[in-house]
């Protein structure tokens, strides 16, 4: 392989990206050395097994990826803003819409959600960490290095360019000869294994580590949503693992699983992809539903309406989510019977979703609503998501879908579900739980400015796409002629995209501003909220709860506050057993990165060495003795007194 | 010594390798379709049981409800995926 094939060449934008990557990779180590932060970084972050810190790292990575995916989106909108635009060529546009999809779903939405669940779930159930803290760190580093592997593809070797769904035969070696889709199979595989382990970890955590008295039906709704999400992850991700492995074998080892001849079946890829892909939609949406349930109950100052129906509707959604995948490819030539069956299951799934919407509305009814920033996102979510849901039912009708399929109407639909659903959800959750982690609120004024920019610009960006789609503009078109008449609405959409960018910048500026100037919280419960995480001081100490709380009902913390009771039993502190930090997960992640990179380029010998190294780290772990450490009573007293004031 | 050398696990590991080797017979020798599928089916079921009981400790769970729910859910997803795929890609394909 020649150097000019190894690096992507010929595009000024790519050269600029290379220069900025080199500058950043010089600046970060230089900065760390100058401020003498290497030891701090290694001890406090890279080796940490603390669920709160892992959660924070997930969220930082997700914000970075939101920026990367957002730049992709801006470039796409800029390219299509005017007819016959030459900003990007066809190949570059293909790579950009592909990576935009992969990054936003797998490296932005997923880690943001996993980050929030890492921070919040153990606190909500009164636990001191997750069930397998070391495994949790492994999950994070696998995700992180999987994401990095995909991100270097646009300067080294070329990005995947067959769409985020990588349909065969287009994604096969024959039609996509660059290494781009090797990156796809390997980066997603590495990150996917991490996600699968997170699913197992949180299922066990929620089932086994709840505070005494917290029965399943007394758990906060967010924890419920994560329990269901974990179950879906455990059953959906193995399908992706298998499909990606088959893809890798097809592209790099000459097998014929998805080939068009020799007994292969190209459409089997689409089938397997969506067997995972549809449950994946619910993996990113259910936690957001959980976040909204918490926020709406807190700021309406009422208990959640229809708790049981919320739980049952999520269980039904989790089952139905495995029954609808064929609706992603109605037009592939199935018979009437197949399409009818999947039309019906798809429409059925809107029933439990509708139940949830009404539950939120009834929670709001006669509530004393306070319009905080997280609440604004939750309130905006309800109507906007409903538009997405209703257009979803339109798409669910197989015969009508022959009109909508692969048009901008579809693009508008899934942005109308994913942005108010997942993105508003995680931003709302971010604002809501920020004081818990850092000990101060984000500024409300800046937060509301960002909200209005994001909510209004979102509609300006994506509503025109419904009309463009109905007028016949297909998705993934990189340019169009003036006579199509698509120009003005695309320009309007571009204006919206600029507004979204301003909103995002305001959001990030808010983090900076609040870190410097926002007054510090002293209570640990700044929103006057309902669930257990708010009974801890902010920022939360390493061991979370000095004494394990005892719970007897839903929203026990709220009622304890009202009645002036304590959630913990009388008595002295006891030493707390905590897991030790460990560098092995990070080292394993680095090894996976190199393994993936060598595999992408089919450099077998280095790949085998990296693979052996990974197996070596696992073997080492098998024989390692690590029993954790105890936090002494004196240290607990000192920490608690410092955080809560002198009272005990 | 017994604690240091987990005999059942080593036997389990060796037998799962053996079962995979036996399955290879199907492509190495010229067998009839029925014969081949029988060998694959039988080795697969033994393999699955080996994994479930020896390495995943299914028999050691005290909470039967959680266990049965989990297995039920797994069966549901597995069967839906297999038969749904057959339905969508073979039986129902181009069927009016």
Q: Are residues A29 and A59 in the same domain?
A: no
Inter-chain CB proximity A336 and B73 less than 8 Å: no
Q: Are residues A6 and A44 in the same domain?
A: no
pLDDT category of residue B2 using cuts at 50, 70 and 90: low
Residue A7 bridge partners (DSSP): A156
Whole-number percent of chain B with pLDDT over 70: 94
Whole-angstrom CA distances from B76 to A320, A343, A353, B49 are 11, 20, 22, 18
Location of structure tokens 């048009």: A407
pLDDT at A188: 96
**Looking at beta carbons, which residues of chain A come within 8 Å of B84?**
275, 323, 325-326
Contact A177, A602 (CB under 8 A): no
Location of structure tokens 């039309």: A343
Q: Provide φ and ψ at A578, rounded to 5°.
A: -130, 155
Mean pLDDT score, A609-627: 92
| Residue-range definition of the domain harbouring residue A153 | 35-581+625-642
CATH of the domain at A534: 1.20.210.10
Residues 6+ apart with CB under 8 A from A605: none
Cα–Cα–Cα angle for A449, A455, A457, rounded to 5 degrees? 95
> Tens digit of pLDDT for each residue in A328-354?
999 988 888 899 999 999 999 989 999
Residue A511 has, within 13 A of its CA and on its CB side, a CA count of 14
**Looking at beta carbons, which residues of chain B come within 8 Å of A272?**
85
Nearest-CA distance A156 → chain B (Å): 37
| Residue A603 in domain | no
Whole-angstrom CA distances from A52 to A278, A291, A626 are 29, 17, 21
Q: Count how many pairs of residues, chain A against chain B, have C-beta atoms within 8 Å.
A: 51
**Which of B5, B66, B79, B84 would you mutate first to test chain A, the one with the most A CBs within 10 A?**
B84
The answer to whether the Cα torsion of A98, A103, A109, A110 is positive or negative is positive
Inter-chain CB proximity B95 and A335 less than 8 Å: yes
Is the predicted pLDDT of residue A301 greater than 50, yes or no?
A: yes
B80 reaches A (C-beta below 8 A): yes
Q: Provide φ and ψ at A577, rounded to 5°.
A: -85, 120
pLDDT at A3: 67
B90 reaches A (C-beta below 8 A): no
Q: Are residues A280 and A297 in the same domain?
A: yes
Closest CB to A338: pick one of B73, B81, B88. B88
The DSSP call for residue A254 is: -
**Looking at beta carbons, which residues of chain A come within 8 Å of B76?**
319, 322
Measured between alpha carbons, how far is A148 from A151 in angstroms, rounded to an integer? 5
Inter-chain CB proximity B89 and A271 less than 8 Å: yes
Residues 6+ apart with CB under 8 A from A215: none
The DSSP call for residue A526 is: T
The DSSP call for residue A210 is: P
Closest CB to B93: pick one of A275, A323, A333. A333
Closest CB to A336: pick one of B66, B73, B96. B96
pLDDT category of residue A516 using cuts at 50, 70 and 90: very high
Q: Are residues A85 and A170 in the same domain?
A: yes
Inter-chain CB proximity B88 and A271 less than 8 Å: yes
Q: Are residues A16 and A95 in the same domain?
A: no
Whole-angstrom CA distances from B25 to A253, B32, B36, B49 are 22, 12, 8, 21
> Tens digit of pLDDT for each residue in A406-429?
999 999 999 999 999 999 999 999
Contact A572, A633 (CB under 8 A): yes
The DSSP call for residue A81 is: S
The DSSP call for residue B88 is: I
pLDDT at A15: 82
Rg (CA), chain A: 25
Is the predicted pLDDT of residue A569 greater than 90, yes or no?
A: no
Which residue, A543, A565, A534, A542, is CA-closest to A552? A565
Which residue, A567, A425, A451, A438, is CA-closest to A504? A451
The DSSP call for residue A326 is: G
* DSSP secondary structure, B44-78, as one string: HHHHHHHIIIIIS-GGG-S-HHHHHHHHHHHHHHH
| Residue A617 in domain | no
Measured between alpha carbons, how far is A185 from A168 in angstroms, rounded to an integer? 13
Provide the domain count of chain A: 2
pLDDT at B96: 47
Q: Are residues A48 and A4 in the same domain?
A: no
Closest CB to A322: pick one of B66, B77, B92. B77
pLDDT category of residue A648 using cuts at 50, 70 and 90: very low
> Tens digit of pLDDT for each residue in A366-375?
989 999 999 9
**Looking at beta carbons, which residues of chain A come within 8 Å of B66?**
207
pLDDT category of residue A2 using cuts at 50, 70 and 90: low
Which residue, A170, A59, A141, is CA-closest to A596? A141
Q: Are residues A7 and A113 in the same domain?
A: no
Rg (CA), chain B: 18
Q: Are residues A154 and A22 in the same domain?
A: no
Q: What rounded mean pLDDT belongs to chain A? A: 92
Measured between alpha carbons, how far is A53 from A46 in angstroms, rounded to an integer? 10
Q: Are residues A114 and A17 in the same domain?
A: no
**Which of B51, B63, B81 would you mutate first to test chain A, the one with the most A CBs within 10 A?**
B81
Of all residues in chain A, the one with the smallest CA distance to B94 is: A335
The answer to whether the Cα torsion of A60, A64, A69, A75 is positive or negative is positive
Q: Are residues A160 and A226 in the same domain?
A: yes
Is the predicted pLDDT of residue B10 greater than 80, yes or no?
A: yes
Is the predicted pLDDT of residue A214 greater than 60, yes or no?
A: yes
pLDDT at A291: 96
ipTM: 0.84
Measured between alpha carbons, how far is B52 from B65 in angstroms, rounded to an integer? 17
Mean pLDDT score, A275-296: 95
pLDDT at A243: 95
Nearest-CA distance B81 → chain A (Å): 7
Peptide bond into A539 cis (omega under 30): yes
Measured between alpha carbons, how far is A546 from A576 in angstroms, rounded to an integer? 8
Whole-number percent of chain A with pLDDT over 70: 99
B96 reaches A (C-beta below 8 A): yes
Cα–Cα–Cα angle for A207, A436, A362, rounded to 5 degrees? 70
Inter-chain CB proximity B81 and A268 less than 8 Å: no
Inter-chain CB proximity B80 and A322 less than 8 Å: yes
The answer to whether the Cα torsion of A611, A617, A623, A628 is positive or negative is negative
Closest CB to A275: pick one of B66, B81, B95. B81
Give the other-Cβ count within 10 Å of A412's Cβ: 25
Whole-angstrom CA distances from B32 to A574, B20, B29, B36 are 68, 19, 10, 6
Measured between alpha carbons, how far is A228 from A215 in angstroms, rounded to an integer? 16
Is the predicted pLDDT of residue A269 greater than 50, yes or no?
A: yes
Q: What rounded mean pLDDT belongs to chain B? A: 84
CA dihedral A66, A69, A73, A75 (to 10 degrees): 120
pLDDT at B1: 60
B94 reaches A (C-beta below 8 A): yes
Measured between alpha carbons, how far is A377 from A420 in angstroms, rounded to an integer? 8
Of all residues in chain A, the one with the smallest CA distance to B66 is: A207
Nearest-CA distance B80 → chain A (Å): 7
Supply A1's token pair.
């392989």
Inter-chain CB proximity A326 and B93 less than 8 Å: no
Is the predicted pLDDT of residue A506 greater than 90, yes or no?
A: yes
Residue A631 bridge partners (DSSP): A576
Q: Provide φ and ψ at A155, rounded to 5°.
A: -110, -25
| Residue A351 in domain | yes
Helical (H) or strand (E) element with A577: strand A576-578
Contact A222, A120 (CB under 8 A): yes
Mean pLDDT score, A5-33: 82
| Residue A423 in domain | yes
Q: Are residues A49 and A95 in the same domain?
A: yes
- How many residues would you count in chain B? 96
Q: Provide φ and ψ at A521, rounded to 5°.
A: -80, 145
Inter-chain CB proximity A271 and B96 less than 8 Å: no
Inter-chain CB proximity B89 and A268 less than 8 Å: yes
Which residue, A295, A182, A289, is CA-closest to A245? A182
B65 reaches A (C-beta below 8 A): no
Is the predicted pLDDT of residue B95 greater than 60, yes or no?
A: no
Task: Sort A234 into a burial class: Cβ within 10 Å, 0-12 / 13-18 / 19+.
Answer: buried
Supply A88's token pair.
């990007």
Q: Are residues A127 and A210 in the same domain?
A: yes
Residues 6+ apart with CB under 8 A from B60: none
**Looking at beta carbons, which residues of chain B come within 8 Å of A321?**
none
Closest CB to A334: pick one of B73, B81, B92. B92
Of all residues in chain A, the one with the smallest CA distance to B90 is: A334
Measured between alpha carbons, how far is A208 from A204 in angstroms, rounded to an integer? 6
Contact A287, A113 (CB under 8 A): yes
Residues 6+ apart with CB under 8 A from A231: A199, A203, A318, B73
């Amino acid at each position: 392989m020649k150097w000019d094939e190894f690096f992507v060449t010929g595009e000024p934008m790519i050269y600029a990206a290379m220069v900025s990557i080199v500058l950043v990779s010089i600046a970060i180590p230089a900065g760390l050395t100058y401020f003498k932060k290497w030891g701090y970084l290694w001890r406090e972050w890279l080796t940490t097994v603390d669920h709160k810190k892992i959660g924070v790292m997930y969220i930082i990575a997700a914000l970075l990826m939101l920026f990367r995916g957002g730049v992709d989106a801006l470039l796409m909108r800029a390219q299509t803003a005017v007819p016959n635009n030459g900003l990007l060529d066809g190949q570059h546009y293909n790579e950009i819409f592909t990576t935009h999809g992969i990054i936003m779903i797998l490296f932005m939405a997923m880690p943001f959600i996993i980050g929030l669940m890492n921070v919040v779930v153990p606190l909500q159930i009164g636990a001191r960490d997750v069930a397998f803290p070391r495994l949790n760190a492994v999950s994070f580093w696998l995700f992180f290095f999987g994401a990095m592997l995909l991100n270097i593809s646009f300067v080294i070797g070329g990005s995947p360019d067959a769409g985020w769904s990588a349909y065969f035969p287009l994604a096969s070696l024959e039609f996509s000869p660059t290494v781009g889709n090797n990156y796809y199979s390997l980066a997603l595989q590495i990150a996917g294994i991490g996600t699968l382990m997170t699913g197992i970890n949180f299922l066990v955590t929620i089932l086994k580590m709840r505070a005494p008295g917290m029965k399943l039906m007394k758990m906060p709704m967010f924890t419920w949503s994560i329990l269901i999400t974990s179950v879906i992850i455990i059953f959906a991700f193995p399908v992706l693992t298998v499909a990606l492995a088959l893809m890798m074998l097809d592209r790099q080892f000459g097998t014929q699983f998805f080939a068009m001849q020799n007994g292969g079946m190209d459409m089997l890829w689409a089938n397997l992809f969506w067997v995972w892909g549809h449950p994946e939609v619910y993996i990113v949406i259910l936690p957001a539903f959980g976040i909204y349930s918490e926020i709406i109950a807190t700021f309406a100052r009422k208990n959640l309406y229809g708790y049981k129906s919320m739980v049952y509707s999520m269980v039904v959604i989790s089952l139905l989510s495995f029954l609808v995948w064929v609706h992603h490819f109605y037009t592939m030539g199935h018979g009437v019977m197949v399409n009818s069956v999947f039309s019906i299951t798809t429409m059925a799934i809107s029933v439990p979703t509708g139940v949830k919407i009404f539950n939120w509305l009834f929670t709001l009814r006669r509530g004393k609503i306070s319009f905080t920033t997280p609440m604004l996102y939750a309130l905006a979510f309800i109507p906007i998501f409903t538009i997405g849901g209703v257009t979803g039912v339109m798409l669910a009708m197989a015969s009508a879908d022959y009109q909508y399929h692969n048009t901008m109407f579809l693009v508008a639909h899934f942005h109308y579900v994913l942005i108010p659903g997942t993105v508003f959800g995680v931003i709302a959750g971010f604002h809501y739980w920020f004081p818990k982690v850092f000990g101060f609120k984000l500024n409300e004024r800046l937060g509301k400015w960002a909200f209005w920019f994001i909510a209004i610009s979102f509609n300006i960006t994506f509503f025109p796409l419904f009309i463009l789609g109905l007028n016949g503009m297909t998705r993934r078109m990189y340019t169009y002629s003036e006579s199509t008449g698509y120009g003005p609405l695309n320009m309007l959409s571009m204006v919206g995209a600029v507004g979204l960018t301003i909103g995002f910048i305001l959001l990030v500026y808010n983090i900076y501003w609040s870190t410097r100037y926002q007054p510090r919280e002293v209570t640990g419960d700044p929103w006057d909220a309902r669930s257990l995480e708010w009974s801890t001081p902010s920022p939360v100490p390493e061991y979370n709860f000095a004494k394990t709380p005892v719970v007897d009902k839903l929203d026990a913390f709220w009622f304890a506050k009202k009645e002036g009771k304590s959630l913990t039993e009388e008595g002295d502190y006891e030493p707390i057993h905590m897991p030790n930090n460990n560098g092995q997960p990070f080292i394993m992640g680095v090894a996976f990165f190199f393994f993936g990179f060598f595999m992408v380029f089919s450099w077998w010998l280095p790949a085998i060495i990296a693979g052996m190294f990974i197996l070596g780290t696992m073997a080492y772990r098998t024989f390692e003795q690590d029993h954790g450490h105890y936090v002494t009573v004196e240290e607990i007293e000192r920490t608690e007194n410092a955080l809560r004031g002198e009272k005990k | 010594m017994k604690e240091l050398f987990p005999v059942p696990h080593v036997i389990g590991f060796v037998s799962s390798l053996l079962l995979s080797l036996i399955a290879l017979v199907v492509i190495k020798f010229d067998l009839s379709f029925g014969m081949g599928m029988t060998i694959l089916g039988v080795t697969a079921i033994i393999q699955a049981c080996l994994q479930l009981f020896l390495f995943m400790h299914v028999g050691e769970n005290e909470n039967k409800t959680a266990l049965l729910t989990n297995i039920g859910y797994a069966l549901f997803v597995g069967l839906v995926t297999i038969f749904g795929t057959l339905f969508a890609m073979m039986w129902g394909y181009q069927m009016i």
